[in-house]
Structure 1
Amino acid sequence: MTTLEIPATSLTVSDDRSPVERAVMGSVLAGHEPEMYLGFCFYRPDGGARVWHSWTRGGDVLGDQVDQLALAAGMDSADWLHIGDRHCTTSHRGRIRIEAYRLRPVLADVQAGERSPEDRRAGIRRILDCAAEQTGTTIPAGVPRWVGFGPHLLTVLNPKGIR
C-alpha cells in the first residue's frame, strides 16, 4: 500500500484585495481588442472604491500619444470627458465597473480638434464653483487639465490614481 503525503497548506486572512482585483482585470483585458484603455472601479463593501488603470496590447503607447497631442492642443478635462464619452463602453461584473475606451477613435477626435460643447464646459465650471464654495476653497478659473488615457498622465504624474 502506498501512502501519499500532501503538504499542509496554510491559508491566511488578508485585507489585500490586489491579487483578486488583478486576476479579474487580466480576464477582462483578455477579452478586449488591442489599443484600448480600461478603467476599473472596484466598489468596496464599506462604500469606498479602488480604481485601477490597464491597457491592452499597444494601448499604453497610443494612450500616451493621445495625451501628448491633447495637451499640445490645449485640451482640458471638459474635452477629455466629451471625447471619452463618445468612445466609452461601460459594463459591470458584480460590484466592478469597467470603462473601456477604443483609443484609435479617441486619437482621431483629438487630431480633428473635437472639443466639448460650451454649455457642458460651463456646467463643469458651475459644479467646480459650487464645490469650492461648499468647502471654502478656491479653484483656478477654467476647468482642470486633460486627465489622460495613457499611463504617463494616469499613473506617473498621478501616482495616487486620482481621477
Structure 2
Amino acid sequence: MTTTTAAPPVILAPSSDPGPVQQAVVESLLAGAEPETFLWIEFHLPDGGVRLRYAWTAGGAPLGDRIDRIAMAAEYDAADWLTITATHRTDSTRGRIVVQTHRLRPILADVQAGVRGTAAKRDELGRVLRAAARHSGRPLQGPPVLPRWLGVGPLLLNRPH
C-alpha cells in the first residue's frame, strides 16, 4: 500500500517587495536570449525612479569580463562604450520595462579591432559633463575628463564606483 502526503498549501500574501517579480522577468528575458548576450534591464517605477538589473546568458559573463579587460587595458572610455555597444544592441520594451540586449561577440570584435568613439561623440559627452558640473554648482576647471569604459561584464559593472 502506498501512502501519499499532500504538500502544505502555498499561502500567497500581498507584498511591497518587487524583487521576486523582477527576478521572474529577468529569468524570462534570459530564457529568450541567445548565448553570450548581456542584458541591461531598466524597471521604471511608479514614483519615477528606475531599478537597473544586469543579466548574462550562458557564456556571457566570462566573455563580458574578457571584453572589459581588453577595453580597460586599451584605456577605452565612455565615448568608446557608447559607440560600440550602440552598434550591437537591440532595444525593446515590456510595459515599463526597457531592455537593451547586447550581443557580446561583435562587441569583442570591435574592441579587438580598435574601434573607438568619434571626436563628435567625445565633444558631445564633454558638453554634457560641463552642463552637469554647472548645474551642480561646481564648474569644471579645465577640459572634462570622460568616464572610463562602463563595462559589459559582471566584474566591472557590479564593482562599486
Structures share a fold, TM > 0.5?
Answer: yes
Residue 160 of structure 2 aligns with which residue?
158
Aligned pairs (5 A) from 1:4-153 = 9-137=10-138, 141-153=144-156
TM-score (norm 2): 0.89
Percentage identity across aligned positions? 47
* Number of matched pairs: 154
Q: Which runs of 5+ in 2 are unaligned?
A: 1-5
Q: Runs (4+) of structure 1 moved beyond 6 Å?
A: none
- Greater shift after overlay, 137-146 or 117-126? 137-146
Q: Deviations over 1:83-137 (max 9, x none)?
A: 0000000001111000000000000000000000101111101100110011113
Q: Once the 2 structures are TM-superposed, how far is the Cα of residue 142 of structure 1 from its aligned partner?
A: 2.0
Q: Once the 2 structures are TM-superposed, how far is the Cα of residue 24 of structure 1 from its aligned partner?
A: 0.7
Q: Deviations over 1:8-58 (max 9, x none)?
A: 654333221010001011111111110000010001111111000000000
Q: Deviations over 1:44-78 (max 9, x none)?
A: 11111100000000000000000000000010011
Residue 3 of structure 2 aligns with which residue?
none
Q: Once the 2 structures are TM-superposed, how far is the Cα of residue 141 of structure 1 from its aligned partner?
A: 3.1
Counterparts of 1:6 and 1:36, CA distance in 2: 38
Q: Which runs of 5+ in 1 are unaligned?
A: none
Counterparts of 2:85 and 2:8, CA distance in 1: 51
Counterparts of 2:21 and 2:133, CA distance in 1: 37
State the SS of the aligned residue for 1:120: helix
